[in-house]
Homo-oligomer: A and B are copies of this chain.
Amino acid sequence: MSRRVAAFCPGHISGYFKRVDGPDAATTGSVGAGLVISEGVLACVTPAERTDITVWQTDHSRNRVRIAGDSPPIRYAMKKLSVDASVMTECRLPVGAGFGLSAAALLATITALNQLYDIGMDERRIAHLAHETEIVHRTGLGDVTSCRGGGMVVRTVAGIDAPVRRIHGLSGPVSAVSFGPINTPSVLGSPGQMEKVAAAFPSGEPKTIEDFFSYSRAFTEKSGLITPQVREVLDFCDHNGINASMTMLGNGVFAYGDDAEPILSRFSSVHSMAVAKNGPVLLKEEP
């Protein structure tokens, strides 16, 4: 039986953000704040002469569905490492819906490959490669920086080496519903819409989870990105005193605390998770 290494990396829900362009990929990214979540991506790697990558998703009924037979970002990172392997990633949350799963998939896969082939990268080099891949492939801006550790993350400087503030000890559950991706053409062709998003960025920094939801919600309202489904859920959360905001960027809502799950469940299947305590972790190594 061939050697096999598995690693897990948490996902990330962004509450508010602003794109920042730097002179290179390492300094390009975003500022903002979000929650690192206990749901994320599991990557399993085994040695192979030709790289093959399969993306699996496990749905609410525990059916495992093969959702892609390749991943250009993972392939790009592997080319940079000059390694070939058989890679399988698996997640439960929906892909492309604002849960930072591309960053999680990259960090989990590179962490597992580093161990499998004794590449000897430290955590920082792993994160740099994952972040560069995200910037080049336009799959994310601040998710790798956030997913390197757990907690509620406040980023006031952009890029992979920028300092971040992590607030730990948030023990309440995080619930989310997703109605799919945000439609790109409806915003892309409109500089006015984009300026609105950039102008919605709050001044100041959240210090508590309540602050975070208040900043995120103000951003959501000013951004002009609220869809009819999100509006309906947010209004109902307000009515019931639930801390809730729109997942940036996906057509969905996330909320915090014990009372959130039954409220959200009126609208769609709820993804239940916690605030993650750690970033990527190696899971096991078979002999």
Across the interface, do A72 and B229 meet the contact criterion of CB distance under 8 Å? yes
A249 within 8 A of B: yes
- Asked whether any CB of chain B lies closer than 8 Å to the CB of A184, the reply is yes
Contacts of A182 in B (CB 8 A): 138, 184
A119 to nearest B CB, angstroms?
23
What is the distance, in angstroms, from A129's C-beta to the closest C-beta of chain B? Answer: 15
Number of interface residues of A (CB under 8 A): 45
Known: A189-B30, A191-B195. A228 touches B137 (CB 8 A): yes
Q: Write out the residue numbers on chain B whose beta carbons fall within 8 Å of the beta carbon of A137.
A: 183, 227-229
Once the chains bind, are A184 and B181 in contact (CB under 8 Å)?
A: yes
Nearest first, the 8 A-B pairs at minimum CB distance are A19-B189, A194-B194, A138-B186, A138-B183, A191-B194, A19-B190, A184-B249, A191-B195
Q: Does A139 contact B (CB under 8 A)?
A: yes
Q: How far is A183 from B193 in the complex, measured between Cα atoms in Å?
A: 17
4 extra interchain contacts, Cβ-Cβ under 8 A, other than A72-B228, A96-B181, A140-B185?
A: A19-B190, A21-B190, A187-B194, A188-B197
Query: In whole angstroms, how far apart are the Cα atoms of A136 and B229 in the complex?
Result: 10
A248 sits at the interface (CB 8 A): yes
Residue on B nearest A135 in the bound complex, by CB: B186
Measured in the bound complex, the distance between the Cα atoms of B190 and A187 in whole Å is 11
* Identical copies in the complex: 2
**8 Å CB contact of A186 from B19, B183, B187, B191:** B19
Q: Which residues of B contact A181 (CB under 8 A)?
A: 96, 181, 184
Against B, the Cβ 8 Å flags (1 = close, 0 = not) of A45-81 are: 0000000000000000000010010101000100000
Please state if B19 and A185 are interface contacts (CB–CB under 8 Å): yes
* Residues of B close to A229: CB separation below 8 A: 72, 137
Interface hits, A75-92 → B, CB 8 Å: 76
Cα-based distance from A179 to B53 in the complex (angstroms) = 14
Residue of A138, A187, A198 with most chain B CB atoms under a 10 A cut-off:
A138
| Chain B residues near A18 (CB-CB < 8 A) | 189
Contacts of A248 in B (CB 8 A): 185
A89 to chain B, nearest CB (A): 14
Contact string against B for A residues 147-175, beta-carbon threshold 8 Å, 1 for contact and 0 otherwise: 00000000000000000000000000000
A194 in contact with B186 (CB, 8 Å): no
A208 beta carbon closer than 8 Å to chain B:
no
**CB of A268 closer than 8 Å to a CB of B:** yes
Asked whether A41 is an interface residue with its Cβ less than 8 Å from the other chain, the reply is no
A141 within 8 A of B: yes
Contact residue among B72, B179, B227, B249 (Cβ-Cβ distance under 8 Å from A188): B249
Q: Is A22 an interface residue (CB 8 A)?
A: no
| Minimum CB–CB distance for A60 against chain B, Å | 9
Q: How far is the CA of A191 from the CA of B190 in the complex (A)?
A: 9
